[in-house]
Amino acid sequence: MEPASAKFGVPIVNTSPISYAKVKAMVEANAVEWDLVDVGGQFIYQGRDQGLLEKIDFSIVDVSKLDKYWVSEYGVFTSTGATVIAYNTKAFPEGKGPQSWKDFWDVKAFPGPRTLYNASTTTTKPRCSPTASSATRSTRDRGEGEARLRQARRDQAAREGVVVDRGADAAAAVDRRSRLGSAWSGRVLDAMKEKAPVSFTYKDAVAWGNAYVVPKGTPHKELAMKVLNYSISEEAQLRLLPLATYGPVLASAAAKATPEQAMLYVTHPTNIKDACIFNDEEVAKYVTRYEDEWRKFQLA
């Protein structure tokens, strides 16, 4: 936030961790302390439905250069990552790892335990907006996840698998306990920086983003919108490229990545063509409807 602070001539204080419960409490008490909040995409729609968020002022926030997937009435995405297929390079050398969710569930071609992130939305039936013709195929393969889980449960590899509740733990598990895993791209990249024996593919990735929302009743609504607008400018988006963790939401910024950087970000043209984009509005509905079934499946 330092560049935005300098640009607008006001101090911007960062606080963490983000608490959705606190956002709700602040709005309901009419005592909003946070003017701009970085959230997962599902909260855009949960917050909208609960009356917790201001509508985005598109007279200030220029989204004309963003792909439609990253824009909503109550929030705008500012950075991206993906849920990817990660693998242990001691078990599968570079170039020999799985390249699809079909491969991921093929325990004969790719034997060994799997790690899964504990969320029904990316493990069984993710809701995606296809970004290319290949993504339609990818979505279909992932949509069979629940049946594949039930089939795999009868397999020794699945019985030895690991289910984790934190994004950081998925990459660590692929490093130390399993051969394959569903993991967040940024966490895998962090592990690779530490020379852990892990790698991943963006083929069949589920791309998602982090969004800015403005809590309803903020006393600094106009300034919050201006900071949001700056955050999606090419100037700000290019600052993400050297960080090598989570990447630009702005396509023109992603396209300016060096060849080395291009391998890191799902929104680079060479990667996004093989991915699909998480449909957070549909996922918010899905979680409400199916999360109990997912818990029952785990206990079965």
pLDDT digits (tens, 9 = 90+) for 69-86: 899 999 999 999 999 999
Do 257 and 158 share a structural domain? no
pLDDT-derived band at 280, boundaries 50, 70, 90: confident
53 located within any domain = yes
pLDDT-derived band at 133, boundaries 50, 70, 90: very low
Least confident of 131-140, 176-185, 278-287: 131-140
Cα–Cα distance measured from residue 130 to residue 300, given in angstroms and rounded to the nearest whole number: 33
Do 195 and 90 share a structural domain? yes
Q: How many domains does the chain have?
A: 2
**Mean pLDDT across 262-273:** 92
Model confidence at 15: pLDDT above 60:
yes
Model confidence at 129: pLDDT above 70:
no
- Of residues 143 and 59, more confidence is placed in 59
**Mean pLDDT across 56-61:** 98
Do 270 and 125 share a structural domain? no
- Of residues 162 and 47, more confidence is placed in 47
Model confidence at 153: pLDDT above 60:
no
47 located within any domain = yes
- Print the domain residue range for 177: 84-205+289-299
pLDDT-derived band at 290, boundaries 50, 70, 90: low
Which of 11-20, 114-123, 205-214 has the highest mean predicted lDDT (pLDDT)?
A: 205-214
Do 55 and 125 share a structural domain? no
281 located within any domain = no
Do 75 and 19 share a structural domain? yes
Return the percentage of the chain with pLDDT > 90, whole number: 52
pLDDT for 135: 35
**Does the model's pTM come out above 0.95?**
no
**Mean pLDDT across 2-15:** 79
pLDDT digits (tens, 9 = 90+) for 83-97: 999 999 999 987 789
Model confidence at 130: pLDDT above 50:
no
Do 200 and 127 share a structural domain? yes
Do 266 and 182 share a structural domain? no
pLDDT digits (tens, 9 = 90+) for 197-206: 999 999 999 9
284 located within any domain = no
Do 200 and 93 share a structural domain? yes
**Domain at 187, CATH number:** 3.40.190.10
Model confidence at 25: pLDDT above 80:
yes
Mean confidence (pLDDT) of the chain: 83
Do 102 and 53 share a structural domain? no
Q: Which uninterrupted H or E stretch holds 218?
A: none
Do 92 and 63 share a structural domain? no
Do 194 and 215 share a structural domain? no
- Of residues 261 and 132, more confidence is placed in 261
Least confident of 123-132, 151-160, 207-216: 123-132
Do 223 and 92 share a structural domain? no
Three-state SS at 83: strand
pLDDT-derived band at 287, boundaries 50, 70, 90: low
